[in-house]
Amino acid sequence: MAERADNVPLRTDFALLIDGELRSAKAKLDVINPATGAVFAACPKASIADLDAAVAAGRRAFKSWKKTTYSERASYVKKLAAALREHQDELATLLTQEQGKPIGQSIAEIDRGAAQSEGMVGIEIPIETLIEDDQRKIELFYRPLGVVGIITPWNAPVNLALGPLVSALYTGNTVVLKPSPYTPLTTLKLGELLKDIFPAGVVNVLAGGDELGQAMTEHVDIDKISFTGSVATGKNVLASAAGTLKRVTLELGGNDPAIILEDADPKAIAKKLFFASFVNSGQVCMAIKRIYAHEKIYDALCTALTAEAKQAKVGNGLDPETEFGPLQNKMQYDKVVDIIEDTKRSGARILCGGEIPNTPGYFIPPTLVTDVDETSRIVTEEQFGPIVPILKYSDLDDAIERANNTRFGLSGSVWTSDPTRGREIAAQLEVGTAWVNQHRATSAFVPFGGAKESGYGRQYSVLGLKGYMEPEVISVAK
Ligand code: NAD
């Protein structure tokens, strides 16, 4: 059980948002600062009765919200983006305190959330004319589904809430949003801002545990679940949503490969490759999780990446010098420590890192490993932490096969001085997004989601927005 920080008053200025009102609750959730390992805040924990009230409010509000136009809803979302920017500093500080990431990255998360939100509401969803002749006109249009339940994880709580939130609202749905019990605070503060922007009941925000998420997936009056989290929970969500045949979008985990060709320049790409692997201390769904390097550049790449790791500044995210914060919670920290131990036992060579500091907080330094047994956990599982294997190959087809030899399929990248060849190889990766000479670049206008067990459906772009709508055919006889 985590200790409370001595002499520091617990922050308790948080509330649920239900039907346009800020509400407290009998039960509380303690929130730990992962940089100290101590409880620093407590927030209300919603009950099933709160969920029922939020869903009922969402259903009432839907009656008029669905009749608003796209441009009216776009103007609400623009106010949301402006409020995010106005409150950026206080939201970012809170995000770093509850999540651990460096303050600059918290600011970037909020800024990016605002920009992506504005981007999404610029997308048109046209009515499509399928057939028009002397006898009839047949059109395909899209209407909102109703109440959307959004369930988010702890690694990027603001960004991962805003994508589905804005998609659902802009397409005419109302929302019940539940963040992870590890990082509920910034989302609750977002709820306070939304209270003054949207009509009552259009957005409801509830903090709660896994059981609240489960109740959302079973709720008869929720029409769709947009879930971001682990593959294992995603499978539970899908099974549970089947009871009411809810629409479901799943954004799940990844074990993303990067393939480095023999013509790549290790020194030139090391910084980008390192950051794409270790950003947010590896706790990013689409972070690089396995590096396959051609034997000709293998040693040079190991040297260049190790140099990056040795310079990396690990610490409390509130320190502006910090580049890499702690793991977000004790469970994830223990899992990554276990993987490091397992990797050492399997005979792998630790190039750098691998030692766990005996200090408060959930810190693990960036760790690179080579000579790895490809059946060991560090290769087969999503580590979601700051340890990455560098694996050698001599034959490109073999590297592609090894990169694809997983049930995950979120994203991947190819690194080469020949982008045309890179594109050909990218097309052979069994993933939702394949990048060439970059990794982790996303946009409101580009669909994002996982192949295989990394997901179900897409977020962003017109494709993602249509996932929040029911296609309906209207056939009019002339
Ligand atoms: P998690 O699956 O443990 O929890 C995610 C959310 O689901 C939390 O809000 C949790 O309370 C809720 N939940 C737990 N059990 C539930 C149930 N039975 N029914 C409904 N909801 C339930 O995931 P996590 O550990 O918080 O997040 C890390 C995972 O998220 C990683 O696997 C990561 O790759 C993935 N992720 C994916 C994306 C993406 O876009 N593909 C983005 C970020 C994170």
Q: What digits encode the pLDDT tens for the residues 248-271?
A: 999 999 999 999 999 999 999 999
Distance between CA 331 and CA 96 in Å, rounded? Answer: 18
Return the pLDDT at 7: 66
**Contacts of 350 by beta carbon, 8 Å cutoff, 6+ apart:** 343, 344, 367, 368, 369
Return the pLDDT at 1: 45
- Nearest atom in ligand 1 to the alpha carbon of residue 253 is 34
- The alpha carbon of 419 is separated from its chain's Cα centroid by a whole number of angstroms, namely 28
- The H-or-E segment that residue 33 falls in is strand 28-33
The CA 448 to ligand 1 mean position distance, Å, reads 17
Mutate which of 210, 328, 381 for ligand 1? The one with the most ligand atoms within 8 Å of its CB, which is 210
Residues with CB under 6 A from ligand 1: 151-155, 160, 178, 180-181, 210, 213-214, 217, 228-230, 233, 236-237, 251-254, 285, 382, 384, 410, 450, 455
- Nearest atom in ligand 1 to the alpha carbon of residue 449 is 41
- The H-or-E segment that residue 203 falls in is strand 203-205
Q: Which 3 state secondary structure label does DSSP give 61?
A: helix
Return the pLDDT at 2: 53
- Nearest atom in ligand 1 to the alpha carbon of residue 232 is 2
Q: Please check whether residue 371 is in contact with residue 347, taking contact to mean a CB–CB distance below 8 angstroms.
A: yes
Residues annotated as catalytic (active site), given as ranges: 251, 285
The CA 104 to ligand 1 mean position distance, Å, reads 24
Return the pLDDT at 6: 59
Distance between CA 285 and CA 440 in Å, rounded? Answer: 10
DSSP summary character for residue 407: S
Distance between CA 214 and CA 240 in Å, rounded? Answer: 8
Edge-to-edge, what's the strand order for the sheet holding 203-205? Answer: 21-23, 16-18, 203-205, 174-178, 147-151, 224-228, 247-251, 455-456
Residue 197 burial by Cβ neighbours in a 10 Å radius (0-12, 13-18, 19+): middle
Q: Locate tokens 């320049």: which residue?
A: 265
Q: Which two tokens stand for residue 454?
A: 């990394």
Q: Please check whether residue 234 is in contact with residue 246, taking contact to mean a CB–CB distance below 8 angstroms.
A: no
Q: Please check whether residue 459 is in contact with residue 165, taking contact to mean a CB–CB distance below 8 angstroms.
A: no
For ligand 1, atom 9: residue with the closest CA: 180
DSSP summary character for residue 367: E
Dihedral angle of Cα 457, 462, 467, 468, to the nearest 10 degrees:
140
Mutate which of 285, 288, 382, 446 for ligand 1? The one with the most ligand atoms within 8 Å of its CB, which is 285
- CA quadruple 365, 33, 195, 219: dihedral sign: positive
For ligand 1, atom 37: residue with the closest CA: 252
- Nearest atom in ligand 1 to the alpha carbon of residue 459 is 40
Residues of the chain with CATH 3.40.309.10: 256-443
The CA 230 to ligand 1 mean position distance, Å, reads 4
CATH of domain 16-252+453-477: 3.40.605.10
Q: Please check whether residue 97 is in contact with residue 361, taking contact to mean a CB–CB distance below 8 angstroms.
A: no
Return the pLDDT at 8: 73
Return the pLDDT at 193: 98
Distance between CA 323 and CA 104 in Å, rounded? Answer: 9
Q: What digits encode the pLDDT tens for the residues 136-161?
A: 999 999 999 999 999 999 999 999 99
According to DSSP, the residues that pair with 387 across neighbouring strands are 367
- Nearest atom in ligand 1 to the alpha carbon of residue 448 is 40
We find that the CATH architecture of domain 256-443 is 3-Layer(aba) Sandwich (3.40)
According to DSSP, the residues that pair with 274 across neighbouring strands are none
Distance between CA 198 and CA 77 in Å, rounded? Answer: 9
For ligand 1, atom 30: residue with the closest CA: 229
Buried residues in 163-180 as b, exposed as e (16+ CB within 10 A): bbbbbbbbbbbbbbbbbb
Distance between CA 392 and CA 376 in Å, rounded? Answer: 15
The CA 260 to ligand 1 mean position distance, Å, reads 30
Distance between CA 107 and CA 450 in Å, rounded? Answer: 27
Residues of the chain with CATH 3.40.605.10: 16-252+453-477
Q: Please check whether residue 55 is in contact with residue 28, taking contact to mean a CB–CB distance below 8 angstroms.
A: no
Question: Which residues of the chain, if any, have pLDDT below 70?
Answer: 1-7
- Number of H helices and E strands in the chain, helices first, is 15, 21
Q: Which 3 state secondary structure label does DSSP give 458?
A: coil
The CA 94 to ligand 1 mean position distance, Å, reads 21
Return the pLDDT at 430: 98
The CA 138 to ligand 1 mean position distance, Å, reads 41
Q: Which 3 state secondary structure label does DSSP give 291?
A: strand
Strands (E), 45-111: none
State how far the alpha carbon of 224 is from the alpha carbons of 65, 149, 173, 278, 354, in Å.
17, 6, 10, 33, 42
